[in-house]
Structure 1
């Protein structure tokens, strides 16, 4: 495992809030250990947990910033983010619930759900063999969560221009885009997210011509028409339980599952970064850790609350 410690004692988030790696040093010094124990226990019982927690963190930060709004349940009067179409496949909320329950027993009303999710996202990367970084803390939990906002999540069909624009709106660069896309090394996708690339792609091509032909044929066999298996799909790299740079090597080889992933290789603004990460795992690890720190700073809430239950506002 490669360890990368970004020694950030105090950093200013995109929203101007001050975050501090030692934020809970006096009020809840055992916070990170409590969260790590919950993550390890869950991952030992379900190997899908790392990918699910990492994806949950991305989806939280991209809507309203990293404020744990994705964790809120819908109510009679409000349909929350987790029930928006792109988030219906999110899972493993119980892991955050378990960590929060233990934190409330040890340090009541102290550790925000937003910080729990940020720390858990780092921990699942490390647990899967990826880099380690210091998580700056001090986020507060937001009180607003609306399913309609999920239309702003980048889609698997986006091209690179659309992706760069989406990331730029959140203060993230093209390099951040490519680095954070590497989180797909732990990913799995159902057929519905990429089957448009496999058949009737255009008047000139049945399948997306950027797909390796043999890989396209393999995907077609996994996602036949008609397809009665709603769980059918494809892992996004060949070492799906290990955090590594195989994802980039597959994109270079024309084996990116999502159109958005493969587009990174087709665009001059991102191709060189994909190729660099495919060659050098250490470089990818370093840049991924740095980009996760920047992602964790997006839209940090200054005047929110510390929820006692991550699913409901206080």
Structure 2
């Protein structure tokens, strides 16, 4: 209990320290207009988790992919329509799932306070709950985001790819006002989840002209990945978990990374810079330090508000 209280206090201090990112967002935004918002969202996330252990990873990834395109405006939730292909149908987002959790949360919230709460705020709260309900830290979510009306699949190319090197990663994050520390801390979100073979085939087959396997991979780990992902894999859902405790939010991701047992090239890239490698080592040795950094970076990232203009009544379509 003391740890939870200290993290809540810490998250409040973080909000003060990054006020330039928060813009119009604040912790008390719905106190009078929708006081039961957060319990309603948490209930929807808990219910979904009871039936599907992959929900937390899905919600965390969904929020990340939303914020990195047009800011946190719920554009990732919009359906393709007519000649427009929406973000959720862009190549990096094809494997996103659990959209129904946000839809269910939205329905519950609309029943309490119609037309008041944005889908973007619901997604930010759900991502927080996904972490907390998986054994990770909790924090106060600043609220007041608006929902965007534009969603284009072509813009998903702006997302950091699993094949990125450290220069590409740091530039990609910097373009969104996020630091190297944010990069390493948010990469820790890979403590939850699963990767399809296509995301790491480049490391285990035809790595380069002279090597079949990425030499930075631990040999036994490389063999385990190759055993589930053939060179021309045809198994639809084949892949690997992102760390050894894929449904528990902990710092195992960093420990495995130091053992050369990371899945993505972009994970391995964190060891190629002295500053990022030092942060990986720090987070591997202290779950508390990782959680503090993760909370700070999540608040910072989720406060990139973008150009949202409305409160959607249905998260899948513009109003």
5+ residue gaps, structure 2: none
Residue 134 of structure 1: aligned partner: 140
Equivalent of 1:197 in 203, 214, 230 = 203
Partner residue in 2 for 1:67? 73
Q: Distance in 2 between matches of 1:256 and 1:279?
A: 17
Residue 12 of structure 1, CA deviation: 4.0
Superposition map of 1:222-237 within 5 A: 222-237=228-243
> Any idea what SS the aligned residue of 1:277 has?
helix
SS state of the match for residue 108, structure 1? coil
**Distance of 2:211 and 2:233 partners within structure 1:** 22
Please provide the CA RMSD for this pair.
1.4
Cα distance in 1 between the residues matched to 2:231 and 2:214: 17
C-alpha distance in 1 between matches for 2:247 and 2:229: 22
Q: Secondary structure at the match of 1:7?
A: helix
CA contact (8 A) 2:44 2:101 kept: yes
1:214 maps to which residue? 220
* Separation in structure 2 between the aligned mates of residue 48 and residue 250 of structure 1, nearest angstrom: 21
Alignment check: 8 A CA contact 2:205 2:212 kept: yes
Paired position in structure 2 for 1:92: 98
Question: Which stretches in structure 1 are left out of the alignment for 5+ residues?
Answer: none
Residue in 1 that maps onto 2:178: 172
Superposed CA deviations along residues 10-38 of structure 1, whole A, max 9, x for unmatched, are: 77454x73111111000000000000000
> How much has 1:177 moved relative to structure 2?
0.3
2:27–2:142 Cα contact (<8 Å) kept: yes
Task: Name the residue aligned to 1:308.
Answer: 313
Deviates more, 1:94-103 or 1:1-10: 1-10
Secondary structure of the residue that 2:289 maps to in structure 1? helix
Residue 54 of structure 2 corresponds to 48
Counterpart position of 1:277: 283
CA distance in 1: counterparts of 2:158 and 2:139, whole angstroms: 28
Aligned: 1:111 with 2:99: no
TM-score where L is the length of structure 2? 0.95
Following TM superposition, by how much is the alpha carbon of 1:266 offset from its aligned partner in structure 2, in angstroms?
A: 2.1
- Please point out which of 21, 35, 57 is paired with 2:27: 21
Task: Tell whether the 8 Å contact from 1:13 to 1:300 is kept in structure 2 after alignment.
Answer: no
2:311 counterpart SS class: coil
CA distance in structure 2 between the aligned counterparts of 1:71 and 1:228, rounded to whole angstroms: 29
Aligned residues: 312
SS in 2 for 1:189: strand
1:252 equivalent in structure 2: 258
8 Å CA contact 2:162, 2:264 repeated in 1: yes
Structure-1 residue corresponding to 2:40? 34
Deviates more, 1:185-194 or 1:4-13: 4-13
2:269 corresponds in structure 1 to 263
The structure 1 residue matched to 2:248, chosen from 236, 242, 246, is 242
